[in-house]
Amino acid sequence: LGGTSLLAVVTDQRGEVLGVEEERTLVEKGNPEPIIRQVASVVRRVCKKAKLKVADLEAVGIGAAGAVDPKTGIVHLAPNLGWTDVPLGHELEKALKVDVFIDNDVTVAMVGEHEQGAAKRAQSAIAIWVGTGIGGGLVLKGKLHRGGRGCAGEIGHTVMVFDGPLCGCGRRGCVEALASRTAMERDVRAAIEAGQQSVVTEIMEETGKTRMTSSVIEKALAANDAVVVEVLNKAQRILGSLVANLVNTLDPEVVVIGGGLAERLEDRFVGPIRETAYQEFIQKNACEKVRIVASKLGDRAGAVGAAFVAMSRS
């Protein structure tokens, strides 16, 4: 469940996908009702596609973007959905009459990649999802690492520039405020306002987009747009440094980079991140042993992972 779209899968116990449904999220500021109804209806429809009934499901798992309490199923703060303290788990259990487990969106994406994707069979892995914000997930000793209070993985709020741009979390200079798609859009707009030539405004008008989405970035790169190239390079340098910091701390087997840009640009997005990271590893020996790769499951990573989380908790 994201601020832009909602993707549901039904899987069997091995995680084999039996049906998929996707639609745009009906975000209505301050009112969670339409989205809760929408999630319930998507669950019903995806079951139908898989020729099942909701009652046949063992459980439902949901990854929501934001601060989520997996124990209570409450979404405490989800800026993209405009939510504070929404008892999503409870409301959906009432509507669907099946156990519902809520988790953070990148946590479930990490689980998806670990079970079936780029981090399969890894004993240690890090997931970094770059989108509107930047989220993270950790696998240590072969298991999802939630930390002492269940808050581990806030990789996007690593401060990289003191007194840098303000972040949504209230601090300054977090990697999210420097290298998320939102931050890239801010930098591109600033460059255009300062008089630099860019095709971004034109592409957005042509495609009817109000935000600089991954597809807008892809089109601008195809047109060799100097502003976008520069802004993207800067974001990749910062992300590469972030990966190096994390690898220097945890020495994982694999770092999975996901989100719209990784999906669309694949190694054009991940390659420069990997290069910077390798340069900044403290232990240079066998750099390539740390795999730094794009997500394998793409936009399904979260939904497939949410199914695995639901199965493990039910």
77 or 192: CB nearest Zn ion: 77
CB of 282 to Zn ion, least distance (A): 25
Pairing of strands 60-64, 100-104: parallel
CB of 107 to Zn ion, least distance (A): 17
Residue among 61, 112, 138, 157 that touches Zn ion (CB under 5 A): 157
* Residue 192 interacting with Zn ion (CB under 5 A): no
167 or 303: CB nearest Zn ion: 167
Structural tokens at position 151: 């808050």
| Cα 54 to Cα 224, 291, 301, distances in angstroms | 49, 39, 22
Binding mask 115-154 toward Zn ion (x if CB under 5 A, else -) reads ----------------------------------------
- C-alpha–C-alpha distance, residues 21 and 149, integer Å: 33
Residue among 174, 188, 228, 301 that touches Zn ion (CB under 5 A): 174
CB of 172 to Zn ion, least distance (A): 8
**How many angstroms separate the most distant Cα atoms in the chain?**
59
DSSP annotation string for 162-222? TT-SBPTTS-BSBHHHHHSHHHHHHHHHHHHHTT---SHHHHHHHHT-SS--HHHHHHHHH
Q: Buried b vs exposed e over 14-39: b needs ≥16 C-beta within 10 Å?
A: ebebebebeeebebeeeebeebbebb
45 or 171: CB nearest Zn ion: 171
Which range in 105-113, 130-138, 169-177, 252-260 contacts Zn ion by CB under 5 A? Answer: 169-177
Residues 70-99 that bind Zn ion (CB under 5 A): none
CB of 170 to Zn ion, least distance (A): 7
CA 281, 282, 286, 292: dihedral to nearest 10 degrees? Answer: -20
CB of 128 to Zn ion, least distance (A): 14
* Residue 167 interacting with Zn ion (CB under 5 A): yes
Q: CA Rg, the chain, in Å?
A: 19
Please, how many CA atoms are within 13 Å of residue 267, restricted to the half-sphere of its CB?
A: 3
98 or 169: CB nearest Zn ion: 169
CB of 298 to Zn ion, least distance (A): 26
36 or 174: CB nearest Zn ion: 174
Structural tokens at position 191: 């460059």
134 or 309: CB nearest Zn ion: 134
- C-alpha–C-alpha distance, residues 55 and 208, integer Å: 41
* Residue 219 interacting with Zn ion (CB under 5 A): no
Which range in 147-155, 163-171, 201-209, 210-218 contacts Zn ion by CB under 5 A? Answer: 163-171
Q: Positive or negative CA dihedral for 97, 2, 172, 272?
A: positive
Which range in 39-47, 70-78, 161-169, 236-244 contacts Zn ion by CB under 5 A? Answer: 161-169
Which range in 99-107, 135-143, 170-178, 220-228 contacts Zn ion by CB under 5 A? Answer: 170-178
CB of 190 to Zn ion, least distance (A): 20
Angle of CA points 241, 199, 260, to nearest 5°: 45
Please, how many CA atoms are within 13 Å of residue 273, restricted to the half-sphere of its CB?
A: 30
CB of 174 to Zn ion, least distance (A): 3
| Cα 195 to Cα 132, 186, 188, 288, distances in angstroms | 25, 15, 11, 41
* Residue 169 interacting with Zn ion (CB under 5 A): yes
Binding site for Zn ion (CB under 5 A): 157, 167, 169, 171, 174
